[in-house]
Amino acid sequence: MATDVYVSATLRMFTGREPVVEAAGSSVGEVLKDVAASHEDIRRILFADEGRLRNFVRVFVNDTEIRGLKGLDTPIQSGDTVYLIPAVAGGASGKNTPLIPAERSGAVEFSDRDLERYSGHFLLREAGVKGQKRIRAARVLIAGIGPLGAEVATVLASAGVGTLGLWDHRKTELPDIKNLIAFTERDLKRPRTAVIKDRIRNICRETAVSVFDYEISPDNAQETVTGYDLVIDCTDNFKSRYLVNDACFFAGVPYVFASLYQTEGRITVFKNDWSTQTPCLRCLFPEPPERNLVPTCSQTGIWSGLPSIIGGYAACEALKLITGSGITLEGRLLSVDPLNLTSRLFHVDRNCSCALCGESPSVRSVQAVDYDDFCNLREPDNVPPVESITVEDLVRRIENHEPLTLVDVREPHERAVHRFRQAIPIPIGQLARRKGELNPAVDTIFLCKEGKRSILAINTLREASYTGPMFNLKGGLDAAKDIVFSNEAGWL
C-alpha cells in the first residue's frame, strides 16, 4: 500500500527537493524504512546508528504524533499521510483565560484619539473595550528582532500593546531589507532594536519600548523574561530557542514559538501552566539536530512575504492570549507552507519524560545547563580540526594552475547566484555516496555560502572513510564574491 509522506522543507535537500514522496508499508516504521531505501541520503538524518529514530525528528500520522499512538509500530491505513517535522533553527479548545488581570487592565483609560484609533477592535466581540484595555496593559517581550521579530513588533504596536521589549544584539544587514519593509538602506549597520524602536514610535507613541542589546545567555535569560506577561520567540538558532524555553518555564511566563525555514513556517504556544500540564519546547523536540545539519536562514534564504505571514500568526496568538479570546495553539503545532499552499495543525502532547517539565526533570535551572554542549556547538575532542584556506590562497592556486578539486555543496538553486564553472556540484546530502567522484591524490576544496556547511561536508566524508586531503574555503563564497578569476571568465 502506497502512502504519501510529507517532507518538511528542512529535509527536502535529501529527497531531491520533493515535498511529498510515496512509500510502502503497513506501519510507520516500514514506511520510513522505505523512504530511506528510496532516498539513501535521508537515512542518517532519520535514524541513529542503532536504528533509533532521532529525537529532533517528530513523526505524525495525519495530525497525531506517533508517540501518542504506537510509535514506529503505528499501523498505516488507506488514505493516511505521514508527516516528517524536524526541529528548526517551532490548546485545548474551550475558554481561553486572559493573561492580563482585570485589576491591571481596569486602570487603563482611553483618550478620544484612542477611541477613534482602536474603533475596529471596539466593534469586535472578541476584543471590545475590555480586550483593548488588556492589550494596552500588556507587557510583551520579543526575542530576536530579525525579519520575523520585527514583523511581530510592528503588528503588536499597531494593535496598541502598552509595553514591548526588544531583545537582539545584532545590527541590520542587507538581507533584512528584502524580508521586511520595516528595514531600509538607511538602517544598515544600525542595531536592529534601534531600527524597530523608531518604527514603533512612528506607529504608536503610547507604546513604551525597552531595548535589550545583548546576546541571550544563561546569565541573563531568566532575568530578562521575568516581569513580562508573554514572550514571543523569534530567534534563529537552537541555543537561543532552548534558552528562551527554559527561562520562560522557570519564570512561569508563557510564550509563543515562531520559526521560519525557506518557504515554511511554524507556530505554537507553550503556556508553562502546570494546572493544564501543557507541553514545552523540550517535549516537542527533546534535542536539537547535529551541528550544522539544519542550515540557518542566512545560509538557505527565506521566501519574501513568509516573515509577514508567520509574524502575523504569532502576533495573533499573542493577542488571543492577552485578551482571552478564541482558541490558541497551546498543545498544537501549526505548519504553514504558502509556496505549496499547504497548512497543517498537529496535536502535541506533554512528554512525561521531558528533561524540563517531566515527572523526573534533569534540567533544574538555566544556569545548570551547558547550552553550547547541548546544541552541539563545540567540536568533539576526538574530531580532528577542519583545515581552511583563504580566498587569497584559492586565487593563487587557481591562477598557478595547481591540481585541485573544487566541490560546491550548495543546493542547485543556490548555484545560480555565484559559482565556479570547474566546481563539481554535489549537494551535501549526496556526498557520502558520491565520494568516488573525488580524487584522493589531490586537494579537495569545499565551497558553500558562508563556509559552515562545507565543514559539515568534510566531516561527512570523514565518516564515510574518505581519506583524501580536504579543505574548507574560509568565509565561503560570500568572502569571494568580489573576486574575478581570469580562467573563470568572472562570476555567473
Strand 443-447 vs strand 332-337: parallel, antiparallel, or unpaired? unpaired
Return phi, psi of residue 347, to 5°: -85, 135
Q: How far apart are CA 60 and CA 80, in angstroms?
A: 10
Query: What is the rounded distance in angstroms from the CA atom of residue 107 to the CA atom of residue 113?
Result: 18
Beta-strand pair 163-167/255-261 = unpaired
Count of CA atoms in the C-beta half-sphere (13 A) of 387: 10
Looking at the DSSP bridge assignments, the partners of residue 257 are 233, 268
Task: Judge whether 486 and 399 are in contact, CB under 8 Å.
Answer: yes
Catalytic entry in 297, 354, 357, 375: 297
- The span from the CA of 88 to the CA of 296, in Å, is 9
Q: Is the dihedral of CA 464, 465, 468, 471 positive or negative?
A: positive
For residues 417 and 130, what is the distance between their CA atoms, to the nearest angstrom? 52
Distance CA 455, CA 462 (A): 11
Q: What are phi and psi of 330, to 5 degrees?
A: -60, 120
Pairing, β 64-65 against β 57-61: antiparallel
Joined grid coordinates for residue 391: 580566498
Give φ, ψ of 140 to 5 degrees.
-125, 130
The answer to whether residues 106 and 198 touch, using CB atoms and an 8 Å cutoff, is: no
265 in Cβ contact with 313 (< 8 Å)? yes
Nearest to 87 by CA among 48, 45, 44: 45
Taking residue 31's Cβ as centre, other Cβ atoms within 10 Å add up to: 26
Among residues 305, 482, 483, 492, the alpha carbon closest in space to that of 414 is found at 492
Task: Give the alpha-carbon dihedral of 484, 485, 488, 492, to 10 degrees.
Answer: -20
According to DSSP, the β-strands at 424-425 and 404-408 are parallel
Query: Known catalytic residue: 297?
Result: yes
Cell of 49: 546508528
Q: In what order do the strands lie in the sheet with 470-473?
A: 388-389, 470-473, 443-447, 404-408, 424-425
Tell me which residue has cell 538602506.
185
Give the gyration radius of the chain's Cα atoms.
24
Nearest CA among 427, 434, 142 for reference residue 295: 427
Q: What residues act catalytically?
A: 297
